[in-house]
Chain A
Amino acid sequence: MTAPLLEALEVRKSYGDRVVLDDVTLDVHPHDVVCLIGSSGSGKSTLLRCLNLLEDVDDGVIRFEGREISDPRVDPREVRQRMGMVFQAYNLFPHLSVLDNCTLAPRRVQGLARGAAEDRARELLATFGLADHVDKHPDRLSGGQQQRVALVRALCTQPTLLLLDEITAALDPELVGEVLGIVRDLAERGTTMVLATHEMGFAREVATTVCFLSDGRILEQGPPAQIFTDPREERTRQFLTRVLPG
């Protein structure tokens, strides 16, 4: 097995007295698709935010591409250039067109020439069926389209790891499919991803590893076949009976 791309070791995070992450240990290898499942408040989003250093961890180690990034001497911006993130509420910049949203970081952070950045963005937008919306402003688009743009925006910096934080939670059921379709494409192309999701069917289909979080702990992790059909923990079983139909 190859060395892990991302490694979290006994990561802890608390807000005041409330422990949000409690000794979370997680390995992500290249081409893995890790799905974090669990009820709201179980720590999925906090874990993602700690992984790309939007939050400082209170203890434990995070390693990315072989380097410890939880060290305060590490420049978070360097890490984030290699790690894309997509949020639940899209968080597109409303004052910029779709194309400008996608070329902002490549041009301003990575110093890519305007032409090159736009070519790359147009190509990706076309791949994901957004060719007609390149010059529109985000508010003109549907939720599903906006979230697809947000995905493209994250991909335009060519990150080695993609973090997706419940990216379909704000969408209509019929729009969920178009966004998950993209994530499925990305998974098939070998993109390494960590995603927090409530879409169990999707997790079962694309995940290489499923982690069940409860009260800030990864209670159990394994291949989807095992977690969904034969969970080891009673809590996992309870959660799954509540969220799975039938």
Chain B
Amino acid sequence: MTDRQPSDRELERRRVRRQQRTRSLLVASGAIALVLAALVTVLVSAPGWDRFRETFFDWGYAKDALPDIRDGFWLNVKLFLICEVAILAVGLAVALARTARSPLLAPFRLLAVVYVDIFRGVPTVLLILMLGFGVPALELQGVTSDRYVWAGVALVLSYGAYVAEVFRSGIESIHPSQVMSAEALALTRGQTMRFVVVPQAVRRVAPPLLNDFVSLQKDTALVSVVGVFDAVFAARDTTGYTFNYTPYVVVSVFFIAITIPLARLTDWLGRRALERERAGVR
């Protein structure tokens, strides 16, 4: 019964559907080609195009700057990876403190509110400058004066405040009925958060979180303002004596090469989670 021959009408229908798919594919490709062609034409026909190409797309300069930029970029990647973990921890802790209801935790709640208000308000670059130059200047005993470390701390503090708010909005978006049913099972409030609310909230806010991490990935470039030898600093160093800006383009390519796969990965993760949880709706 399963190996039934479809009727002629159904075969015809499938042919039409295939045709429709092919046509929309053609239209899409055509539209993309058209837009790209228009963009290239505008760019190439610009009066300063030749100068522009020499200053920004010079293969020779690119090759010369590549080793330094690559080494510097490794610093950006390390900074990003370490900060990301710390930011997630800080963000979640602050969000939980803000949503805590126990009277004993009231001081933490207050602290969390003040922290978010202040650190979300201060521009990240200022924070890096203040911590990167300020803390070492204090000459505190037993505290590192490595500007790289303090620039990282500044990033964590700044992004922690953003991520905390993302987490909080996720936690608050979970329907009260979920909390109620967890409480009906006699879970404590802590257990309710840990096993029921936070897992759902994290899944829900994964896309905006990734958005913040792509942004963080780029903002690791800001540490160059306190003289940390990262990819941007390396590029600026080279342009300082060649007066050719190709190294900046090379750095951009490095950053794009890492953010695009990251974006695709989260898209895929999100889609997979959605398919699993919404199975059977359609």
A72 close to B17 (CB less than 8 A)? yes
Task: Kindly identify, within residues 54 to 98 of chain A, every residue whose CB is under 8 Å from any CB belonging to chain B.
Answer: 54-55, 58-61, 70-73
Asked if B13 lies at the interface with its beta carbon under 8 angstroms from chain A, I say yes
Q: Are A58 and B1 in contact (CB under 8 A)?
A: no
Q: Are B9 and A61 in contact (CB under 8 A)?
A: yes
B118 within 8 A of A: no
Report the nearest B residue to A55, measured CB to CB: B282
Q: Mark A17-60, 1 if CB is under 8 A from B, else 0.
A: 10100100000000000000000000000000000001100111
Q: Nearest Cβ distance between residue A53 and chain B, in whole angstroms?
A: 13
Chain B nearest Cβ from A95, distance in angstroms: 14
Q: Which residues of A contact B9 (CB under 8 A)?
A: 59, 61
Judge whether A72 and B13 touch: CB under 8 Å. yes
Given known contacts A72-B17, A72-B20, A73-B16, A58 and B10 CB-to-CB distance under 8 angstroms:
yes
Binding site for B on A (CB under 8 A): 10, 12, 17, 19, 22, 54-55, 58-61, 70-73
Residues on B with beta carbons closer than 8 Å to the beta carbon of A70? 13
* Residue pair B13, A71 in contact (C-beta under 8 Å): yes
Distance to closest chain A CB from B259 (angstroms)? 33
In the assembly, what is the distance between CA of A59 and CA of B5, in Å? Answer: 10
In the assembled complex, the Cα of A71 lies from the Cα of B4 at a distance in Å of 21
Indicate whether B102 reaches chain A with its CB closer than 8 angstroms.
Answer: no
**Is B103 part of the binding interface, using a Cβ–Cβ cutoff of 8 Å?**
no
In-complex Cβ contact of A59 among B1, B7, B20, B282 (8 A): B7
Residues of A within 8 A of B17 (CB): 72
A17 CB contact (under 8 Å) in B2, B6, B10, B20:
B2
Q: Give the interface size class of chain B.
A: 10 to 19
The 8 closest A-B pairs by CB, nearest first: A59-B10, A72-B17, A72-B16, A59-B6, A59-B7, A72-B13, A73-B16, A72-B20
Alpha-carbon distance between A17 and B2 when the two chains are bound, in angstroms: 7
CA distance A70 to B12 in the complex (A): 12
Residues of B within 8 A of A58 (CB): 6, 10
Q: In the assembly, what is the distance between CA of A59 and CA of B13, in Å?
A: 9
Q: How far is the CA of A59 from the CA of B14 in the complex (A)?
A: 10
Q: Mark B148-188, 1 if CB is under 8 A from A, else 0.
A: 00000000000000000000000000000000000000000
Is B16 a contact partner of A60 (Cβ separation < 8 A)?
no
CB distance from A99 to the nearest CB of B (A): 25
A19 and B1 contact, CB distance less than 8 A:
yes
Digitize B255-282: 1 where CB-to-A-CB distance is under 8 Å, 0 elsewhere: 0000000000000000000000000001
Q: Kindly list 15 other residue pairs between chains A and B, CB separation below 8 angstroms, not including A10-B7, A70-B13, A71-B16.
A: A17-B2, A19-B2, A22-B1, A54-B282, A55-B282, A58-B10, A59-B6, A59-B7, A59-B9, A59-B10, A61-B9, A72-B13, A72-B16, A72-B20, A73-B20
Q: Which residues of A contact B2 (CB under 8 A)?
A: 17, 19
CB-CB under 8 A from A54, the residues of chain B are: 282
CB-defined contacts of A73 to chain B, threshold 8 Å: 16, 20
Chain A residues whose C-beta falls within 8 Å of the C-beta of B282 in the assembled complex: 54-55
A17, A59, A60, A73: which has the most chain B beta carbons within 10 Å?
A59
In the docked arrangement, what's the CA distance between A151 and B16, Å?
35
- For this complex, 10 residue pairs linking A to B, each with C-beta atoms less than 8 Å apart, are A10-B7, A19-B1, A22-B1, A55-B282, A58-B6, A59-B9, A72-B13, A72-B17, A72-B20, A73-B20
List residues of chain A with CB within 8 A of the CB of B7: 10, 59-60
Q: Which of B6, B9, B16 gathers most chain A CB within 10 Å?
A: B9
> In the complex, what residue of chain A is closest to B1 when comparing beta carbons?
A19
The distance from the CB of B146 to the nearest CB of chain A, in whole angstroms, is: 51
User: Distance in Å from the Cβ of B229 to the closest Cβ of chain A?
Assistant: 51
**Within the complex, what minimum Cβ distance (angstroms) separates A19 from chain B?**
7
Q: How far is the CA of A58 from the CA of B4 in the complex (A)?
A: 11
Within 8 A of A (CB), among B15-53: 16-17, 20
CA gap between A64 and B4 in the complex, in Å: 26
Give chain B nearest CB distance to A54 CB in angstroms.
8
How far in angstroms is the closest Cβ of chain B from A212?
20
